[in-house]
Amino acid sequence: MTGALRRLRALPLRSRLALLVATAVAVAVAAVAVACWFVTRVQLENQLDSSLRSSKVDENYLERLYAYCRGTTPLPPRPFSGNYTVQLNDSQGTVCIAPKLSGKQSPLPVSEADIAVAERRLPNALHSATSENGTKVRVFTYPLDQSAQQLGGTTGGIAVSIARPMSEIDDPLSTLAWVLLAVAGIGAVGAGAAGLWVARTGLRPVDELTEAVEHVARTEDLTVRIPAEGEDEIARLSRSFNSMTASLASSRDRQAQLIADAGHELRTPLTSLRTNIELLARSDDTGRAIPPDDRRALMTSVKAQMTELASLIGDLQELARPDAPGPGPLQVVALHDIADTALERARLRGPELTIRADLTPWYVRAEPAALERAVVNVLDNAVKFSPAHGTIEIALRDGELTVRDQGPGIPADELPHVFERFWRSPSARQLPGSGLGLSIVARTVQQSGGEIALRPAEDGPGTVASIRLPGAPTPPPEL
C-alpha cells in the first residue's frame, strides 16, 4: 500500500487528478451496476415465485397421473403448456412425475419441506433444488384437497411439486451482467479521458504560474505579472503571486536606493578623512613639520570625521534591521522615565539651552533600547537646530510626547520628506548628521503601534515634533 501511494505521488498532478476522477467514476458506476444487477435478480425471483404460486394443476389430471404412475391407466394429456415440471410426492417420499411431451422428465429431490406439506404439517413450501440431471430449479409444493384413497387407496397425504428451471432467471441476469460490465468499462474510460481534460484545463493557470516563477528564478525579473480573472482559488493564488513580486521589487528598489544613498553619504567623510591623513603623512615623509595649531586642527577634524563615520555606520546598521520588531522583546516601559533620561543627555549636549519639561506618567509596550534611541534622536535634533540660549519645551500628556524648539523651522514643502532616508534640509547640510535619525525614529514608533509627525510651531519660530504611543497612565499588573 505504501509503495502504491509512493508511485501515485510520483505521477504528475494532472495524471493523478485524471486517475482519481476515473477511479471515482469507475467505483460509482460499478456500485450502480451491482445494485442494478441485484435489484433485477430480486425482481425476477419474485416474478418466478409468483408465477409458481399461481400455477395450480387440475386435480383430475393429477388423479389420472397418479394412476398412470401405478400402471393402471394410460398417460393423460398435459393440461398446461410451458417449461414446467409436475411431480407428486407422498409422505413416504415416493415420487410420481409427469413426463415431458417427448422424453422423460428428470425427477425432483423430495425435501423435508415437501414431506411436511404432504403430511399437512405445512400449508406449502417454496425452495430451490437441483434435479437428477443437474438442472437448477425453483420448486413450489402444495397439498392436494382430495384424499389419498381417491387417488389409489394409498395411506398418508400427497403433495404436488411444480418446478421451473432457474435458467429463466440466470440467463437474463448473465446477459445483464455483461451489458453492465461493458457500460462500466466504457464509463471508466470516458471518465479517465474527461478527468484528463478537466485536469489540463483546470491546471492551465497553475502551469502559467509555474512558468512565471521559473522565469523569475531564472532572470530575476520581478516585473512579471499573471492575469488574475475571477474569484476562484487560482485567481487568488495569481493575485498573491503578483503582490509578492511587487513587494519583492519594491524591497529590491529600496535596498538599491539605500546602498546608493549610503555610498553617497560615506563618500564625503571618507574623502575629507583621506585628505587630512594624506597631509599628515606628507608632512612625515617630507620632514616639513606642520605648525602645532594646524596639526591640532587636523587631528580634531580627523576625530570628528571618524565619529561621524561611526555614527553613520551605526545608523545604517539600525536601518538595515528588518521592519518587524527588533531582536529585543517588547516590554512594558515607562515613557516618562525614558524621556527624563533623554533630557539629561540633551542638557549635557546643550548646556547653554533652557529645557523645560512637563512629563506625566505613561506606560507603553515597546523595545526599551530602540524607544530610548528614538526619543534621544528627537531631542538631539531640537538641540542641534535651537539658537544659542534658546528654549526647548518637552511635554508628555495622555500618551503624546511633544518636543518644541525655537529653531528656524522646516518649510512646508520640506515636511513630507523629513522621514525619508538620507534626506536633509538644504539649511542643515552643513551640520553634522547622516539624515537617518528621523527615519529610524519613525520606524521605531510605528513598530510600537504609534504615530510621529512634525509641524511648525503655532506661537513663534520653531518646530514641534509629536510622538503618540498607545498605552495607559498606570502600569499593568505584571509590571
DSSP-derived secondary structure for 156-206: S-EEEEEEEETHHHHHHHHHHHHHHHHHHHHHHHHHHHHHHHHHHHHTHHH
- pLDDT (0 to 100) of residue 446: 83
DSSP state, residue 93? -
- pLDDT (0 to 100) of residue 250: 80
Distance, CA of 173 to CA of 37 (rounded, Å): 7
Distance, CA of 186 to CA of 181 (rounded, Å): 9
Distance, CA of 298 to CA of 317 (rounded, Å): 28
Q: Identify whether the C-beta of residue 173 lies closer than 8 Å to the C-beta of residue 15.
A: no
Distance, CA of 280 to CA of 296 (rounded, Å): 11
**Which residues in the chain show pLDDT less than 70?**
1-14, 71-73, 75-82, 99-105, 146-156, 230, 257-258, 260-269, 304-305, 308, 311-312, 314-329, 413, 415-417, 419-437, 478-479
**Could you tell me how far CA 270 lies from the centroid of its own chain?**
53
Q: The domain at 233-319 falls in which architecture?
A: Orthogonal Bundle (1.10)
Is the pTM of the predicted complex or chain greater than 0.85? no
Distance, CA of 285 to CA of 297 (rounded, Å): 20
Phi, psi (5° rounding) for residue 468? -115, 125
Q: Identify whether the C-beta of residue 372 lies closer than 8 Å to the C-beta of residue 444.
A: no
State the DSSP H helix or E strand holding residue 94, giving kind and residue range, or none if neither: none
Strand 136-143 versus strand 158-165 pairing type: antiparallel
Phi, psi (5° rounding) for residue 97? -115, 140
Where are the domains positioned within the chain?
Answer: 10-202, 233-319, 331-472
Longest CA pairwise span in the chain (Å): 164
- pLDDT (0 to 100) of residue 378: 86
Entry field: residues in the chain: 479
Of residues 118, 128, 140, 113, the one with CA closest to residue 53: 140
**Could you tell me how far CA 126 lies from the centroid of its own chain?**
60
Q: The domain at 331-472 falls in which architecture?
A: 2-Layer Sandwich (3.30)
- pLDDT (0 to 100) of residue 75: 65
- pLDDT (0 to 100) of residue 43: 92
- pLDDT (0 to 100) of residue 101: 46
- pLDDT (0 to 100) of residue 263: 67
